[in-house]
A and B are shown apart, each in its own frame.
Chain A
Amino acid sequence: MMLALVRPDSWNLPLFLHVLGATVLVGAIGATVLIAVRAPAWRRLLVRTIGFLVLPAWVLMRFAGQWIDSRENVPGDPAWLGVGFIVGDAGLVLLVVMALIAWWGLRRPERRWPVRAVAAISGLYLIALFVAMWAMTTKPD
């Protein structure tokens, strides 16, 4: 247990940025879910939240994660790291698709499906983020 508590100083900045990006991403995705479900008419706010907060937070989380991975040099291919990479990398595809759908929905306000799709994707991704957080924190074998 104590090994997990000892960390070289050079890992601290990337870890801080990784956690900061992940927490901002959770909050921004939460806001996206809330807007899409409770205020579907506010499509400009939806697009701005995704464009100005969700995507930049993902970039910070993912690149800082890669930075710490390059420092930590984890031996083997543990499941917890795999979960992190899947939620991170597959998440980008989901987030880009979600951003495009939200933008499409802004240009076609008469259509309801884009906002519903954004609500479904963001809701699923929020759950995935918490699963990744559990895996990255507890590091199960």
Chain B
Amino acid sequence: MDTYDWLLFLHVLGAFLVLGGAVLAGVFNFAALRRERPSEIAMLFKFARVGVVSIGIGMVLTLALGLWLVHHVGYGWGQTWIVLALVLWVLANALGGIGGGREKKTRELAERLAAEGDAPSAELTARLRDPVWLALSWGSGIVVLVILALMIWKPGT
């Protein structure tokens, strides 16, 4: 394997960690919407954290190895797909970061309610169905999909 192979493998591995992590987190967030007991919701959000960590590692890998690949292959830094991908990478992180903050508060509420008797709570249900949080999470995922499409179609090359 030459340098290009290693860079491409690690870059693609990063993409798998991001998209796979998003799917994994999505499975548990979606499952949490269907539960009422705070202890179960807290556990599902704990599982979703595995996906969030995977997304974080993947985001760093895709950016670092992606920039290295652009330099190694000799693509122009001003090419449309590269500029767009970088802008969307920042946007995906911003959306995911804000959504993640709301998710953390919901998880902390679920953990507190679980410790205080584990009774269903209207506040927790409302937080789980918070349209802003759902829009941020789904929006971040859609932006990542657009980045994947850019990487394949490479418009402006």
Contact = CB atoms under 8 A, between A and B. Distances in A.
B99 interface: no
Interface in B45-76: 47, 50-51, 54, 73
B19 interface: yes
**Chain B CB within 10 Å, residue with most, of A12, A15, A27:** A27
B148 A20 contact: yes
Q: Contact residue range for chain A?
A: 20 to 34
Contacts of B153: 9, 12, 16
A24 B23 contact: yes
Interface stretch (A90-98, A99-107, A112-120, A133-141): A133-141
B73 A24 contact: no
A138 B10 CA distance: 10
Interface in B1-58: 1-2, 4-6, 8-9, 12-13, 15-16, 19-24, 26-28, 31, 43, 47, 50-51, 54
Interface of B: 1-2, 4-6, 8-9, 12-13, 15-16, 19-24, 26-28, 31, 43, 47, 50-51, 54, 73, 145, 148-149, 152-153
29 contacts: A1-B4, A2-B73, A4-B4, A9-B153, A19-B148, A20-B145, A22-B16, A23-B16, A23-B19, A24-B19, A24-B20, A27-B19, A27-B20, A27-B21, A27-B23, A27-B24, A27-B27, A30-B20, A30-B23, A30-B54, A31-B24, A31-B28, A31-B47, A34-B47, A53-B27, A130-B13, A130-B16, A133-B13, A133-B16
